[in-house]
Structure formats: structure tokens, C-alpha cells
Amino acid sequence: MKTALLLTAIASTLLLSGCNNDQWHGFVYTDRYDLSNYAYVGNYETLKECRIEVVLKMKASNRLRGGDYECGFNCKRDKNGKMAPICESSSR
């Protein structure tokens, strides 16, 4: 009985831990006036982590002038399955 109860508790914990999918997603735009041309940088647990990574990506690709970035919260994929800047909220 104790074993079954323990296994149920472990399984419930594992299932519930996967329910929190809130993430920040980083996007870099090569031209700040053309937001249709973007690169997906990655997903992050915090806005601060996202900002650090997208700025590093912009520096590495010489996009600090003319380019732009966005960190979006809980973004969705487009019809082709590519991560897109369609998000619950966004921040710079």
C-alpha cells in the first residue's frame, strides 16, 4: 500500500512539473524596419537571460546598428512549425 501511494505521489509530481511551460523566446531582426526577416535565438527561463543572449547574438552578427531584437513571452509556432514572434507579451 505504501509503495503504491509513493509511486502515485512521484508520478503526480512528475506530471505537474511539466505543466509550467512559461518561457521567454529571443528574436533578432536584421533590419529594424522589416520585422518579417528575423532569426530565432532560443528560449529562456527569464527575461534577463533572453536579453543577454539576443544582445550577444546581435553583437556577433554586427546587427547593433540597423537591427533590433525582441524577447517574447510564451510565443507560438507559425504554420510551418517555425518559432514565430507571436507571443502573449514582448519586451525589449
Asked, for residue 48, whether it belongs to a domain, the answer is yes
pLDDT for 5-38, tens place per residue? 333 344 433 333 344 579 999 999 989 899 888 9
Q: Please report whether residue 12 resides in a domain.
A: no
Does residue 27 form part of some domain?
Answer: yes
Reference 53, options 20, 30, 45; nearest CA is 45
Give how many domains the chain has, as a whole number. Answer: 1
Query: Could you tell me which of 50, 36, 45 has the C-alpha nearest to residue 85?
Result: 36
Q: Would residue 8 count as lying in a domain?
A: no
Q: Is residue 32 part of a domain?
A: yes
User: What is the rounded distance in angstroms from the CA atom of residue 43 to the CA atom of residue 13?
Assistant: 24
> What domain range includes position 79?
21-91
What is the reported pLDDT for 20?
52
pLDDT at residue number 62: 79
pLDDT, one tens digit per residue, over 26-74 is 999 989 899 888 999 999 999 999 999 999 999 998 777 889 999 999 9
Residue 13 lies in a domain: no
- Asked if residue 83 has pLDDT above 70, the reply is yes
Asked whether residue 1 is assigned to any structural domain, the reply reads: no
Amino acid (one-letter) located at 44: Y
